[in-house]
Every structure is written in structure tokens, then in C-alpha cells.
């Protein structure tokens, strides 16, 4: 898939960078499939964490997440499907153990390119990695105890994925519709999306369930929310009324209500959380 639109969805705390959480961008050849890799830069001793659970907002992505315990020599993995609601994630490592986390964050519509099976019924779910990515899990999981740094894990993963690029699974209708959604920042209704892709609304919904795991309407709303979230953080003179017009919301109440529904808090508190303990943010929005 060749995304011509620059779309980089953000987390609830997009400026967060520390020894426990680092994001690294993929190679150019994989940028249309993978949002980023993330995890711990190197193994760490698991300490008791008294911080509040981390807020996870809908980011239109699918995550393959591995937790590596070097003390017990175990690797556990999970697949987090695309979400249409926020939730809180808890740190579940064993205190005193040498551990690390490694994850691959794929765009929801490009995960299918590398998976073994349909993404239907994966929305808001957490599954074993091998339920959809058995081939990838069989190659990566055995190497994770050996590959200590985040960069080593990424380099190995990309070697594996590069070999798969010539055999990815894609659908032209889904790809074209995704491009249309991104171009219009999620503001088009499903009837127009289907018409411009020359399929019926029912067929488009069926394809999206198969290839993305979410309806085109829900995905459009989430993409619009993500474009809005970026503007909230990026634009020094952000104005709600201007955003209503820009992103096609019915009115100010509609925008504020939908943002709170996805983010679990209002814009003011969301910004406070995002900018907490932030020093230099110059290199975040690229």
C-alpha cells in the first residue's frame, strides 16, 4: 500500500520518551504499513510502579506486543486489535525481574497485508499473536531473548518483513477508500465513500470487516478524531469553531462530545496530560 497522505496518529501522551518507552520510526519501505516500533531500549529491572495506569486512546492502529522476561526466560505476546474507545493499560511485569517490551504498531488497514487470517471480530480485542500472525510470531518470538536492544529487535523484524513485501495481501477497493478517507480527514459519509469506490455500502462494510476489523464509518470518525487531536496539540491558536468547519462536525457540541467519547476527558484535561513533564517537543510532529 502506497499512502500518499501523511497520517501519523498520536497517543494520549505523544511526547513521552524514557527508558521504559521509546518509539522508533520504520524504514522508508515500511512506512505505509507500520506507524512505529516501540518498547524499552534495553532490558530493565522491573520496579514497582505507583503511577496511574496509562491511558490508551483510539489511534487507528493494531499492535503486536511482546513482554520479555529474561529472569524466567519467557516471552509472552499479544495482539491488540483496533479500538474505538479508550482504556487504561496496567504494567504487569514481575517486580525484580529483568524485563523488556517490544511492539510493532501497524496501521489498522495495513495489518492485513502481513497477517494469516481475516481481521474480522478483532476490534477492541486482545488475542494471542499467532491467532492472526502465526508465521511472523514463529520467526520473531524465538529471537527476542537473544536480541537485547530495541534497535536489534527492529532490525531483525524489518529483515523478516522486507522478504514478505513481495507477497503482501491487499485489496484495491479498501486501499482506495482509505486514501479517500485520509484525503478528506474522515469527513465523508459511507454512502459517498462507497459511491466513489464503485461498490455498494454493504459490500464496502463487508470488505472493511474482513481487511480492517472495523466499519468504514467508525474508522472515518476515528481518523477525523486523530486529525483533530493533532491540531489541538500542534496549533498554538487552535480554535474549536474553526475545527468544526475544518473537520465537518455538525456544531461545537458535536465536536466536544465526540472528542470526549474517544478520549475519555475534555480537550483541556487532555492537553494537560499530553504536555505533562514535557521539555523539548520540537522533534515530535514529523
pLDDT in tens, 229-260: 999 999 999 999 999 999 999 999 999 999 99
Identify whether residues 134 and 181 lie together within a single domain.
no
- Is the domain of 29 the same as that of 120? yes
Given 167, 185, 206, the domain boundary residue is 167
pLDDT over threshold 70, residue 1: no
Over residues 111-123, the mean pLDDT reads 93
Same domain, 219 and 99: no
- How many domains, in total, are found in the chain? 2
Partners of 126 in the β-ladder: 80
- Residue 11 domain-assigned? no
Domain containing 127 equals 22-167
| Residue 112 in grid coordinates | 492485513
Last residue of a domain, one of 134, 167, 200: 167
Residues 234/275, Cβ–Cβ less than 8 Å: no
Which of these three, 167, 194, 226, is where a domain ends?
167
Which residues, including other chains, have CB under 8 Å from residue 222's CB and lie 6 or more apart? 58, 60, 84, 186, 214, 262
97 in a structural domain: yes
98 and 129 share one domain: yes
User: H or E element: which one contains 139?
Assistant: helix 134-140
Distances (CA, A) of 213 to 1, 32, 39: 17, 18, 25
Asked if residue 89 and residue 205 are part of one domain, the reply reads: no
Task: Specify whether 116 is located in the same domain as 237.
Answer: no
161 and 41 within one domain? yes
User: Within this chain, do residues 163 and 26 fall inside the same structural domain, yes or no?
Assistant: yes
User: Would you call 257 helix, strand, or coil by DSSP?
Assistant: helix
At 5 the pLDDT is 67
Residue 128 lies in a domain: yes
| 22-24 and 126-127 beta bridge pairing | unpaired
Tell whether 153 and 176 lie within a shared domain: no
Q: Say which range, 74-88, 103-117, 271-285, has the weakest mean pLDDT.
A: 271-285
User: Do 109 and 222 meet the contact criterion of CB atoms below 8 Å apart?
Assistant: no
Confidence band, pLDDT 50/70/90 cuts, at residue 286: very low
- Reported in sequence order, the residue ranges of the chain that DSSP labels E, i.e. its strands, are 22-24, 34-39, 44-45, 54-56, 61-69, 74-80, 87-89, 98-107, 126-127
Whether residue 161 is found in the same domain as residue 182 = no
Mark whether 149 and 177 lie in a shared domain: no
Candidates 38, 282, 10; CA nearest to 157 is: 38
Band of residue 173 on the pLDDT scale cut at 50, 70, 90: very high
Amino acid at each position: 500500500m502506497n499512502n500518499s497522505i501523511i497520517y501519523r496518529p498520536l497517543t494520549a501522551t505523544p511526547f513521552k520518551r524514557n527508558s521504559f518507552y521509546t518509539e522508533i520510526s520504520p524504514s522508508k519501505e515500511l512506512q505505509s504499513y507500520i506507524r512505529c516500533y516501540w518498547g524499552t531500549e534495553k532490558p530493565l529491572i522491573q520496579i514497582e510502579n505507583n503511577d496511574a495506569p496509562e491511558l490508551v486512546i483510539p489511534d487507528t492502529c493494531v499492535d503486536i506486543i511482546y513482554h520479555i522476561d529474561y529472569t524466567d526466560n519467557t516471552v509472552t505476546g499479544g495482539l491488540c486489535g483496533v479500538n474505538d474507545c479508550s482504556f487504561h493499560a496496567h504494567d504487569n511485569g514481575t517486580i525484580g525481574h529483568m524485563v523488556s517490551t517490544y511492539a510493532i504498531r501497524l496501521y489498522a488497514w495495513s495489518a492485513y497485508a502481513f497477517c494469516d487470517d481475516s481481521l474480522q471480530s478483532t476490534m477492541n480485542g486482545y488475542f494471542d499473536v499467532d491467532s492472526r500472525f502465526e508465521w511472523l510470531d514463529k520467526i520473531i518470538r524465538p529471537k527476542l531473548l537473544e536480541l537485547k536492544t530495541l534497535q536489534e529487535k527492529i532490525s531483525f523484524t524489518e529483515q523478516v518483513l522486507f522478504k514478505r513485501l513481495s507477497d503482501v495481501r491487499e485489496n484495491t477497493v479498501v486501499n482506495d477508500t482509505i486514501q479517500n478517507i485520509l484525503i478528506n480527514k474522515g469527513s465523508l459519509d459511507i454512502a459517498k465513500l462507497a459511491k466513489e469506490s464503485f461498490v455498494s455500502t454493504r459490500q464496502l462494510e463487508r470488505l472493511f470487516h474482513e481487511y480492517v476489523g472495523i466499519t468504514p464509518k467508525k474508522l472515518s470518525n476515528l481518523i477525523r478524531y486523530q486529525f483533530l487531536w493533532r491540531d489541538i496539540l500542534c496549533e498554538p491558536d487552535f480554535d474549536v469553531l474553526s475545527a468544526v468547519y475544518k473537520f465537518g462536525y455538525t456544531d461545537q457540541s458535536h465536536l466536544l462530545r465526540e472528542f470526549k467519547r474517544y478520549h475519555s476527558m475534555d480537550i483541556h484535561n487532555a492537553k494537560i496530560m499530553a504536555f505533562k513533564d514535557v521539555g523539548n517537543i520540537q522533534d515530535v510532529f514529523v
